[in-house]
Every structure is written in C-alpha cells, then in structure tokens.
Amino acid sequence: MLWGSSPAAVAARYVAVSENFLADGPTERADRARRMLLSAVGSNEPATLNQVAKAMGRGAPAVSRSVDALVRSGLIERAADPDNRRRLAMRLTDAGRDMLRTPSESTSLASRLERLAPSEVRAIERAVEILERAV
C-alpha cells in the first residue's frame, strides 16, 4: 500500500479529482451533447432521425429539435431519402466532421495539464499507463 492508503481510498480520491475535470458547466454539457449527436449521425450515415434517436437513447422529438439547430449551424445536412421520399437522410457536413476531429477547447484536459511541470505530467502519464493495465 502506498503511504498506508487502501485501494478503496485511492479509488475514492481518484473519482473525486476526476469529477473536477469532467463535471462542467452548461457550455461544456452542450458541447458534449452536440458532439454525441454528430457522432450518432456520422456513424449511421445516411442516418434517419429514428436511428440517431436510438443511438442517443432519447426520443425522436427532442433529437429532432437538436438536429434542427445543427442544420442551422451548418454541421449536419438533411436531404430526402431517394428510396423513401417521406424520410429524411442526414449526413455530416465538412464542418461537422471537422468539429468531431477537433478536441473540445472548453473541456480540454490537455490545456489543464500544460500548466503542470513536465515531471508532474510524466507522473500522470505513468499513472495512466498503470490504470490502462488494470482495465
């Protein structure tokens, strides 16, 4: 045991600290939701509303409103499905794909780690390596 700490105590401290990195405000939650929606559309292209709603575990009306906002933002495009004109098919635009490829600035762990000394970053890297082995 490290300094007399039990694995349960270390786990509790880890959870408490990690929540500080993950528990964000409304802007960060909105960004995560936007990225989840883009990912659901991208992984089901050409995606239907029902496919995306199912992938997100939400109802179609709520997802439809979110899709409308992303269409207006230029991140998703909708077009009539050539096989069924009553159904709309969604695809990511280039801007939508770029957003998924770009790390989020608001929740960037990297930007927080940049404030640490190189030796501290190396210590965290070593801890991550250990945690990866424990999975």
Q: Tens digits of per-residue pLDDT, 3-21?
A: 667 777 777 777 777 766 6
Does residue 64 lie in a domain region?
A: yes
Note whether residue 119 is domain-resident: no
Q: For residue 93, give its domain range.
A: 33-100
DSSP conformational letter for 107:
T
Does residue 39 lie in a domain region?
Answer: yes
117 within domain boundaries: no
89 in Cβ contact with 80 (< 8 Å): yes
Q: Which phi and psi angles does 93 have, rounded to 5°?
A: -85, 175
Dist CA 11 CA 84 (whole Å): 52
pLDDT of the chain, 135 residues: tens digit per residue: 456 677 777 777 777 777 666 656 677 778 888 989 999 999 988 899 999 999 988 998 989 999 999 999 999 999 987 777 778 899 999 999 999 888 766 556 777 788 889 999 899 888 888 888 887
Residue 12 lies in a domain: no
Give domain status of residue 51, yes or no.
yes
Domain tally, the chain: 1
CATH label of the domain that carries residue 78: 1.10.10.10
What does the pLDDT read at residue 108?
64
In this structure, what are the phi and psi dihedrals at residue 3, rounded to the nearest 5 degrees? 50, 30
In a domain, 70, yes or no: yes
